[in-house]
Amino acid sequence: MFPYPFSFLGTTESGLDQLDNDYYMDFDGVDDYMTTNIVNPIAGTSDFTISCWIKSTATGVYGNYMWATACAIWGVPSQAFGILLRTPYGTTDLKVCVGSGSFGSTIVNDGDWHHVMSVWEYAQGTAGRISYYIDGNTTAEVAVDVVSYWPDHQVMPTPMIGHTAYTSGTYIPFEGFIDEWAWWNSNQSSNVQEIYDATDIAGKKCADLSSMTTPPVAWYRMGD
């Protein structure tokens, strides 16, 4: 964990309280990761939400899947819930991704902090929907309906931060910084702007997620 050397601009009014935020965690892209204490998610019974801040300058490599968070794969193997980053063909940009080709529009390896919210909606489409909300935008950058569940769904031992349990060479650890990682057993997309606006990076303040109407069931403050 490291003290913040921030130069991010812009804080707007929010109904959430703020907390001092002096640290974040650095993941080396080799073998750094965290295993959470969250009870295994079960597909088809609840919505889930992950919210965190990420910052990276890692060069994206086409074909690799970089996991900021890995939780479970439901449906076909290329449809994964978590925070998955991938590089579109012909670039070195990292963008949020569902499957092998459904990308968000925001480049997240530009050296700036970005707020990422990933939402699983179990009752949408045939067998659920995965959506990403970036930097407080209440419109999903990418939203993909899952085709079908695997027979019993495939689940990690617990959700992981910074890596994945899959052994394929295309699944690589996250390289960069992660902060204020939170999990809800509900859809929190309506609060993405509120969380983003309550964060003052230049002033080293973050949103106090415990002051939300529905607080997260797990909140990793990464050193604070």
Tens digits of residue pLDDT in 88-98: 999 999 999 98
Give me 85's structure tokens: 């980053």
Contact residues for 197 (Cβ-Cβ < 8 A; gap 6+): 11, 12, 13, 14, 136
Contact residues for 139 (Cβ-Cβ < 8 A; gap 6+): 133
Contact residues for 10 (Cβ-Cβ < 8 A; gap 6+): none
User: At residue 67, what is the residue type?
Assistant: W
Contact residues for 4 (Cβ-Cβ < 8 A; gap 6+): 21, 22, 23, 24, 201, 204
Beta strand pairing call for 95-98 and 102-103: antiparallel
pLDDT on residue 41: 66
Render pLDDT for 101-155 as a digit per residue (tens, 0 to 9). Answer: 899 999 999 999 999 999 999 888 877 889 999 999 999 999 998 876 554 445 5
Q: How far apart are CA 130 and CA 206, in angstroms?
A: 26
pLDDT on residue 168: 78
pLDDT on residue 88: 94
pLDDT on residue 9: 32
Polymer length of the chain: 224
Domains of the chain with CATH codes: 2-9+28-220 (2.60.120)
Instruction: Report residues of the chain scoring pLDDT below 70.
Output: 1-14, 22, 40-44, 72-79, 148-157, 223-224
pLDDT on residue 18: 87
